[in-house]
Structure formats: structure tokens, C-alpha cells
């Protein structure tokens, strides 16, 4: 299918055909949302057991009460989920993004939209996930969606606000038209890089927030971690070319707040277990789903070194995760690090 054909599809309105790649909680929650909006969904999972369960019950055990309708089809086959679809939604864990994109590349038509909804930075390349997809599928129109949006709440229709980022306004507006309804509000942005960095790095800070919870600390500590955490995210993000305004918005501070505060957050839950004395491996196994902050933490420090910025919270998370430092010692070092001004470029009045 040629790009011109997709232009026609975007203008026609009404029902769209959407392939969702990934049968985790986020992919299934978005399938439920899009199906209720009147679109025809093909959901692809690699798990035969999950596909069989969804065909029988139209429900996923990790999203109780979220029922999928009759306009959702389920498949194990890549081609059924990709060919002829108006849009593809990539809802796979960040560590599988490159393999998935490479596998599907030959099935994707020129100009076909791929909307990435996962959050992370590829550890060994330090690339954002949209960059990974574009490298593997250069002929696709790659966009991203991010913001404070737990699958458990989106699936139940809890009011949620999110941002779609794309290279062109027309693509962003088309994606918005597919998702937006009375409980799911969609803003659009051209700052794909800033959105992705905010979405990836907040998971590392959420691990720190969880660790603090696991240690038994309180609201003062959580507020400090969120506030100083977004400062670190914006410091690195703007150095890399992201827009400061993005980090002040839904995909920055908004996503950070919800991920640090909610028990829906896998990263916070893993952090709590680590703060209680579990190892990284034990915590990830107990959570039982992808803990994206663990995968992004090392990449964040590599980027900090490359762009010569300081990320003290993220640095201490890395020390806890990968160097065996105790959580108590990490917190002590954060509290006793060099004295700083909160905002370094604010002028002092002249002393009399």
C-alpha cells in the first residue's frame, strides 16, 4: 500500500482498522478504549495461552473488569495484525522493541503509522524507542503517545489526559481523532524527543520513590524526590534537545507524579521491595511484569556522561541496582551532597 492510500484513509473518518502489537495490560487497555470508540482491533500476542483466554473470556486476568468487545480479534500471526491496518500500536516492553520492529519491518507498508506507547531507552545504544523503530522500519510514520495513564484506569474508563507526539501535525491530529472521547483527552506535540525522555526517565525516579517508601520514609521525602527528580529529567532532556515546556507538562511532571505515587506503578512497587531489602532480581520477579526503570537506569547515566550533566538521584538508583549499595547509604549521600542553590540563576539582591 502506498503512502497516498494512507492519506486517504486518514481523511475518511469513522471506523479505522488498528493492529495492536503486544498483549500486556497496556495493549489490552488501549484495545478496549479504541474498540469502544468504534474501531476494529486486531490484537497480536505471542502467548497461545493468552490468546485462547481472550477468545474465550474477552478479559485479561491482570485487568479484571475490563471487557473487550466483539470488534476485537486475537491472533498469534504478525501478518494478520499488520497488513491492511490504518495504524499499528506498539505496546511491547522496551527491551523487545528492536526485535519486534525488525521482525515486522517487511510487513509494514510505506507511510503506515506506528504509534509507540512503551516507555524506555535502549540500554546499549542509548536510543529512544521511536528512534529504534525508525532505524528498523525507516519507511513507517512513527509517532509516540505518553502521559500519566495507568492501564488499570484507562481500561475502566477513568478520565485520563495524554499527549501524542508526531513529526507532522496531520499525523498527530489523525491519531488524536482515533483515541479521544469523553474520558480520554488527547493533546498533541511536535516534541517527540522530550516526551520520550520524560516517559523513560520518570521510571528511574519512580524506583527511587518506591525505595524511599520501602524504607518507611514519608510525604516530605516523596515530594522532594518528585521535585528534584523532574529537575534532573529536564536537565538531561533539554541538554539533548527536548523542550523545557514538555518536562513541565503531562509527559514530564504529570507522568512522574502518577508513577511515583500510585501502587499501579510497577517501578514504584519494585522500588518498595528493594527498599525492604529485596535484590533487583527478586523485586522484578515479584512484580511479574516489565520494570522499565531498571532497563533505562544505565542508559540514563551513559547519557548524563555524554552530555555532561549531573543526575544525583538517578546515579544513586544505579548504585543500588547494579553496585550493591544499600538504600540507606544512598539516601544519606543524597542528603549530604554538596550544598547547592535550588535555582542557580536567580539573582540575589544587593546587601546593604
Residues that are catalytic: 202
**Are 205 and 66 spatial neighbours (Cβ–Cβ below 8 Å)?**
no
Burial 219-228 (b: 16+ CB within 10 A, else e): eebbebbbeb
Counting Cβ atoms within 10 Å, is residue 145 exposed (0-12), middle (13-18) or buried (19+)? buried
What's the order of all strands across the beta sheet hosting 17-21?
72-75, 40-44, 17-21, 87-90, 113-116, 141-146, 160-165, 184-189
Q: Could you count the other beta carbons within 10 Å of the beta carbon of residue 261?
A: 16
* Residues 257, 245, 120, 103, CA torsion sign: positive
Residue with cell 466483539: 70
159 alpha-carbon distance from chain centroid: 18
**Are 251 and 230 spatial neighbours (Cβ–Cβ below 8 Å)?**
no
The strand pair at 87-90 and 17-21 is best described as: parallel
DSSP-assigned states of every residue in 159-195: -EEEEEE-SSHHHHHHHHHHH-BTTEEEEEES-HHHH
Instruction: Give the span between the Cα atoms of 62 and 67, in whole angstroms.
Output: 12
The closest of 172, 269, 191 to 234, measured between CA atoms, is 191
Amino acid at each position: 500500500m502506498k503512502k497516498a492510500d494512507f492519506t486517504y484513509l486518514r481523511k475518511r473518518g469513522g471506523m479505522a482498522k488498528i493492529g495492536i502489537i503486544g498483549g500486556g495490560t497496556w495493549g489490552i487497555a488501549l484495545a478496549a478504549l479504541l474498540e469502544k470508540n468504534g474501531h476494529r482491533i486486531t490484537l497480536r500476542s505471542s502467548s497461545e495461552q493468552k490468546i485462547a483466554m481472550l477468545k474465550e473470556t474477552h478479559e485479561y486476568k491482570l485487568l479484571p473488569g475490563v471487557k473487550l468487545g466483539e470488534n476485537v480479534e486475537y491472533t498469534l500471526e504478525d501478518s494478520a495484525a499488520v497488513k491492511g491496518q490504518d495504524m499499528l500500536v506498539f505496546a511491547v516492553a522496551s527491551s523487545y522493541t528492536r526485535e519486534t520492529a525488525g521482525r515486522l519491518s517487511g510487513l509494514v507498508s510505506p507511510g503506515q503509522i506506528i504509534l509507540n506507547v512503551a516507555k524506555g531507552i535502549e540500554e546499549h545504544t542509548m536510543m529512544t524507542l521511536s528512534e529504534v523503530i525508525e532505524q528498523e522500519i525507516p519507511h513507517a510514520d512513527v509517532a509516540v503517545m505518553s502521559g500519566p495513564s495507568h492501564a488499570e484506569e484507562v481500561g475502566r474508563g477513568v478520565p485520563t489526559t495524554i499527549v501524542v507526539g508526531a513529526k507532522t501535525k496531520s499525523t498527530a491530529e489523525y491519531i488524536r481523532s482515533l483515541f479521544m472521547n469523553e474520558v480520554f483527552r488527547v493533546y498533541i506535540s511536535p516534541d517527540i524527543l522530550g516526551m520520550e525522555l520524560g516517559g523513560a526517565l520518570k521510571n528511574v525516579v519512580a524506583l527511587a520513590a518506591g525505595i524511599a517508601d520501602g524504607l518507611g520514609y514519608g510525604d516530605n521525602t516523596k515530594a522532594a524526590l518528585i521535585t528534584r527528580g523532574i529537575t534532573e529529567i529536564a536537565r538531561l532532556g533539554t541538554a539533548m534537545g527536548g523542550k523545557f515546556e514538555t518536562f513541565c507538562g503531562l509527559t514530564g511532571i504529570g507522568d512522574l507524579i502518577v508513577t511515583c505515587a500510585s501502587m499501579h506503578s510497577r517501578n514504584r512497587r519494585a522500588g518498595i521491595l528493594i527498599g525492604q531489602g529485596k535484590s533487583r532480581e527478586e523485586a522484578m520477579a515479584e512484580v511479574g511484569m516489565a520494570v522499565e526503570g531498571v532497563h533505562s537506569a544505565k542508559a540514563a547515566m551513559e547519557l548524563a556522561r555524554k552530555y555532561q550533566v549531573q543526575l544525583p538521584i538517578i546515579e544513586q538508583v544505579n548504585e543500588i541496582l547494579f553496585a550493591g549499595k544499600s538504600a540507606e547509604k544512598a539516601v544519606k549521600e543524597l542528603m549530604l551532597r554538596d550544598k547547592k542553590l535550588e535555582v542557580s540563576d536567580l539573582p540575589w539582591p544587593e546587601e546593604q
